[in-house]
Amino acid sequence: MIVNPVIGREITERLRGLRAFIALSAFVLVLTLTAFLVYEAAGVNADAFDLAARTRVGRQVFESVILIMTVLVLFFVPGIAAGAIAGERERQTLATLQVTMLRPRSILSGKVVATVAYLGLLVVAAMPVLAVAYLLGGIRVVDIVRGLAAVLLVALLLATMVVAISAFAKRVQTATVLAYAFTVLLVIAGPLGFGVGALLDARSDDVGDRVAAPAVLLTVNPIVLVSDIGAGTTDSGGGPLSAVRDGVDEAKEANDDSWVALFPNAPDQGFDNDPLGRPRTGLPAWLLSTLSLAGLAALLFWGAARRLRAPAEVER
Amino acid sequence: MTAVSTVAQEVAGAGAELGPAVVVSGLTKRYDDVFAVQDVDFTVPRGSAFGLIGPNGAGKSTTFLVLASLLTPTAGRVVVAGADPAVDAPAVRARVGYMPDVMGVYDNLRVDEYLQFFAAAFRLPRASWPGLVDGLLELVDLTVKRQALVSSLSRGMKQRLSLARALIHDPEVLILDEPASGLDPRARVELRELLAQLHGLGKTIIVSSHILAELEEMCTDVAIMEAGRLLAAGPPQRILEELGRTRTVRVRFADGADATFPVADDTAQAALLRQLVVDDGRDVVEFTEEHHGLEQLFLSITEGIVQ
């Protein structure tokens, strides 16, 4: 089996630097602090013999840790991956890489996989924090697996986008600024678009003209993706992920239980992971989220591969 | 017969034992209104050491980028080791070792890891890596630095490592853009010796440099470029003859007088000496062939145009 050599080189270089260990420590520290603060805020009030209350604390710790882990991933990925191609260009190693037998998509995918592998290491290092939530109760092993899978899926999609953005920048600094701006936009654009739509709707005088803001806008968002997968399947109270998921559900209900008000009453796709057994129609939010983000990532990746095909053309 | 059809014929022949290593025909590269390279033709014989000479902005690096499959020509055609870089870049990359004018290396890798990475990037069998890395490190005299981080190497060492990188897949043709740039005199001499060694191993070496004396010692053929155009190409001696620069001999006599005589070849040179000493009975104290070096050739052809 031929393993993409870019992966090994990237990981070797990354782990040899001091920054990797500082980032790893910061990642685990922030998550530990999150678990501690949520436990302190919710746990101390819970009666030691009230198991239902204890499980609610476990659920809150779990959802808070997964949410903060997602936010950390959104913060770390631009920092790690923005220099993927721009860095090669800046240290003048890109040409030597491109006269090898590696194709542009191999170079790009190697960078993406190396970024995700490093984030995977961070996530694994944070497992003991999730184990605390598990011991408190209220979550199952499958919830942890789903939560971590969602975080890594977001890491993969965002890393693909950021590595691709890096191919369009000449300097690491430019790529970093672009990557962070893009990530912020990715997080706020959907809710902002939905909010503007809702505001315009509310200001419309003629009730007949009112069309509820399309809830589908909310799904183009990595946090919604993680929330919909990671909010869990047990009825053990809720945390921030459940709140996000419920918010998206409410927006959809305002669209006549469809994602877009213009096409109400979408057929039931048979997907049902609501703990209270409420019917959910249409495609699930996490799938719409994954499809939209994957589409965006694929488009950027294609553009980046095209740009790298004849590198000297764009180096002037 | 058109230039392209001529090239097409040479493509078929280029892979043969005695075919040219590189054929450049009508090469033009234009950026907006600026012609970086304009209608350039030259041929690099297989196994030769070919020097591409020209001032800054002459189009040397652009030509090298096209040869290395990193730039698509606006017009014209190029055949490198039997393949057209614009049509079959992977074939060219498999047969060409390219060292750019700006040296970039992965500082956080060890020297052996650096070479292993490129061995993998050229899809060489893993079993061959240890022997390959050992051999190349010995060739570039970096065996003692095998476990050192690339960041700890001197500039000259990094340049030699870069050369080892370009050689990792045993290319037929080596394209070296200003390989001696920024090196101290000792490192330059070492690099020159290394290139001579590689030439001795039968590699076709295409090299550019501002240090013409270095190219003169090493190159069997040269091409002189200025402002994107080719001014002359071929063996230096032939270019001189085409320019009408015949061989001259400077003679100094015992009475202090000196004179310069044009001579056609070695026979004429010997006849002149015999005539002066035997026939004319002059006391000759110095009889020297004047050397028309590459530098002189370069200065007499170029006009100092900068674009």
Write the DSSP assignment of A84-111 as a string of letters: HHHHHHHTT-HHHHHTSS--HHHHHHHH
Phi, psi at B20, each rounded to 5° = -65, 150
pLDDT confidence band for A270 (50 / 70 / 90) = very low
- pLDDT for the residue numbered A258: 73
Nearest C-alpha in B relative to A88: B104
Residues of B in contact with A312 (CB under 8 A): 65, 70-71
Of A12, A100, A310, the CB nearest to B113: A12
Q: Is A12 on the interface with B (CB under 8 A)?
A: yes
* Shortest Cα distance, chain B CAs vs residue A127, angstroms: 29
CB distance B108–A100 less than 8 Å? no
Check if the beta carbon of residue A277 is closer than 8 Å to that of residue A263.
Answer: no
Check if the beta carbon of residue B306 is closer than 8 Å to that of residue B61.
Answer: no
Q: Is B120 on the interface with A (CB under 8 A)?
A: yes
- pLDDT for the residue numbered A234: 60
| pLDDT reading at A311 higher than 80 | no
- pLDDT for the residue numbered A268: 45
Q: Exposed, middle or buried, A99 (CB in 10 Å: 0-12/13-18/19+)?
A: buried
Of B90, B100, B108, the CB nearest to A96: B100
Instruction: Please report, as a single letter, which amino acid is at residue A60.
Output: Q
Q: Exposed, middle or buried, B43 (CB in 10 Å: 0-12/13-18/19+)?
A: buried
* Shortest Cα distance, chain B CAs vs residue A308, angstroms: 10
| pLDDT reading at A285 higher than 90 | no
Query: Average pLDDT of B89-118?
Result: 92
CB distance A101–B90 less than 8 Å? yes
CB distance B117–A16 less than 8 Å? no
- pLDDT for the residue numbered B15: 44
Total-model pTM: 0.83
Instruction: Please report, as a single letter, which amino acid is at residue B245.
Output: R
Least confident of A59-73, A130-144, B178-192, B232-246: B232-246
CB distance B122–A96 less than 8 Å? no
A42 or A181, which is more confident: A181
B96's enclosing H/E stretch is strand B96-99
Spatial separation of the C-alpha atoms in residues B173 and B203, rounded to whole Å: 6
Residues of B in contact with A102 (CB under 8 A): 121
Query: Average pLDDT of A193-204?
Result: 80
Task: Give the strand pairing for B96-99 and B34-44.
Answer: unpaired
Segments of B180-246 assigned E as strands: 204-208, 221-226, 229-234
CB distance A312–B65 less than 8 Å? yes
Check if the beta carbon of residue A203 is closer than 8 Å to that of residue A252.
Answer: no
- pLDDT for the residue numbered A283: 80
* Tokens coding A155: 């890491």
* Shortest Cα distance, chain B CAs vs residue A27, angstroms: 23
Nearest C-alpha in B relative to A102: B121
Q: Is B152 on the interface with A (CB under 8 A)?
A: no
Of A2, A94, A101, the CB nearest to B93: A101
Spatial separation of the C-alpha atoms in residues A304 and A109, rounded to whole Å: 11
- pLDDT for the residue numbered A187: 95
Of B93, B102, B109, the CB nearest to A12: B109
Nearest C-alpha in A relative to B106: A93
> Is B237 in a helix, a strand, or coil?
helix
| pLDDT reading at A265 higher than 60 | no
Q: Is A1 on the interface with B (CB under 8 A)?
A: no
Q: Which of B47, B83, B46, B48 is nearest to B66 (CA)?
A: B83
**β-bridge partners, B199:** none
CB distance B70–A99 less than 8 Å? yes
Q: Which of A4, A5, A23, A167 is nearest to A90 (CA)?
A: A167
Of B71, B122, B165, the CB nearest to A101: B122
Check if the beta carbon of residue B198 is closer than 8 Å to that of residue B269.
Answer: no
Place of tokens 């920048």: A169
Strands of the B284-290 sheet, one edge to the other: B258-263, B247-253, B284-290
* Shortest Cα distance, chain B CAs vs residue A111, angstroms: 14
- pLDDT for the residue numbered A279: 52
- pLDDT for the residue numbered A271: 44
Q: Is A276 on the interface with B (CB under 8 A)?
A: no
Query: Average pLDDT of B124-147?
Result: 92
Nearest C-alpha in A relative to B108: A13
- pLDDT for the residue numbered A207: 58
Strands of the B204-208 sheet, one edge to the other: B96-99, B173-177, B204-208, B49-53, B221-226, B229-234
Check if the beta carbon of residue B176 is closer than 8 Å to that of residue B99.
Answer: yes
Q: Is B105 on the interface with A (CB under 8 A)?
A: yes
* Shortest Cα distance, chain B CAs vs residue A171, angstroms: 15
* Cα B244–chain centre separation: 24
Tallying the residues shown for chain B, one arrives at 307
* Shortest Cα distance, chain B CAs vs residue A315, angstroms: 10
Instruction: Please report, as a single letter, which amino acid is at residue B1.
Output: M
Residues of A in contact with B121 (CB under 8 A): 5-6, 97, 100-102
Spatial separation of the C-alpha atoms in residues B134 and B118, rounded to whole Å: 14
Spatial separation of the C-alpha atoms in residues A123 and A126, rounded to whole Å: 5
* Tokens coding A119: 């984030």
Residues of B in contact with A85 (CB under 8 A): none
Rg of chain B (C-alpha set) = 23
Spatial separation of the C-alpha atoms in residues A159 and B291, rounded to whole Å: 62
CB distance B117–A99 less than 8 Å? no
Check if the beta carbon of residue B208 is closer than 8 Å to that of residue B180.
Answer: no
Segments of chain A assigned E as strands: none
